[in-house]
Amino acid sequence: FTIVPGRVFGALPQTLFQLKNLRFLAISRNFISGTLPANLGEIRSLRTLDLSFNQLTGEIPRSIGTITELSNVILCHNRLTGTVPVFPYRSLNRLDLKHNNLTGHLIPDSLPPSLQYLSLSWNRLNGPVFRLLSRLNQLNYLDLSLNQFTGTIPTRIFSFPIVNLQLQRNLFTGPVLPAAQVAIPTVDLSYNRLSGPISPMFSTVQNLYLNNNHFTGEVPNSLVDRLLAANIQILYLQHNFLTGIEINPTAEIPLSSSLCLQYNCMVPPIQTLCPEKAGNQKTRPTEQCGEWRG
């Protein structure tokens, strides 16, 4: 059951959810308003639910988690509130709830290990996700950005078959120490409260965003070497508490690469073009650096 985008207004009719044999329901990019009906779970054969890019409000019915064959849930870009439901069945592969007004914690066992695509960005979700993420080892896409998640990032996540890991703009804390070389092409951990040294295991990442955290110590030489060899395209380290980097002041950054070092506890030995929002201050004030040197 698919409807052409931009033609549907108003609330979803209750009769729609009496179609017990419906397997595919896609009415994305329309002007559907109102709430999702509580009897959504009565469509026992439903496998794909796509109501994205509409104007839906209210909570996601708990009954959605009782649909045993449900594989794809795409409710992004609405105005949904409340918490993320529990999906206990291993049929679920894709869950996209980004750009809503969801709140609350994620229950550790709320999502099945069969999940391959998870996007919860642009909500107001909070609390730790360590236990939840540690068991979702089939993920190939993960975006938890722009929420209020707390606690540490599980080391295991850096070995998942992910192409783009987006954990930026949360409240994650603690060190980040992958057990092996990270094979994820893009890793964005910016705008958190992460601390400790920068791991050399990140030297195999092509686009690495570690800016606006509390990282300390020196930049690993392996990152510098791969940057100068044009193996790293983006290395953003600005707005941390880093104390040094071994790089020749006359070194030329490859045209295909970007490096930003400003506003750390050191004078950048090389002048590079930084994003405009990094500001104009090259070095962090000394009084801010003392408490982070220990």
pLDDT tens for each residue of the chain, 294 residues long: 556 566 788 998 878 877 888 999 999 999 999 999 898 998 999 999 999 999 999 999 999 999 999 999 999 999 999 999 999 999 999 999 999 999 999 999 999 999 999 999 999 999 999 999 999 999 999 999 999 999 999 999 999 999 999 999 999 999 999 999 999 999 999 999 999 999 999 999 999 999 999 999 999 999 999 999 999 999 999 999 999 999 999 999 999 999 999 999 999 999 999 999 999 999 999 999 976 554
**Whole-Å CA distances, 225 to 7, 220, 229, 251, 253:** 55, 9, 6, 11, 11
**For residue 135, which of 173, 107, 169 has the smallest C-alpha distance?**
107
Round to whole Å and give the CA distance between 145 and 208: 15
Question: What would be the CATH architecture of the domain defined by 1-149?
Answer: Alpha-Beta Horseshoe (3.80)
Domain ranges within the chain, ordered by starting residue: 1-149, 152-294
Question: What would be the CATH architecture of the domain defined by 152-294?
Answer: Alpha-Beta Horseshoe (3.80)
User: What is the CA angle 201-202-206, rounded to 5?
Assistant: 140
Task: Identify the pLDDT of residue 293.
Answer: 54
Estimate to the nearest angstrom the gap between the alpha carbon of 38 and the chain centroid: 29
> Can you point out the beta strands (E) in 102-170?
103-104, 117-119, 124-128, 141-143, 148-151, 164-166
Give the helix/strand (H/E) hosting 167. Answer: none
Round to whole Å and give the CA distance between 155 and 170: 17
Task: Identify the pLDDT of residue 1.
Answer: 56
**For residue 75, which of 88, 59, 91, 87 has the smallest C-alpha distance?**
59
Do 1-149 and 152-294 have matching folds?
yes
What strands lie across the sheet with 186-188, from one edge to the other?
Answer: 24-26, 48-50, 72-74, 94-96, 117-119, 141-143, 164-166, 186-188, 207-209, 234-236, 258-260
Round to whole Å and give the CA distance between 262 and 92: 44
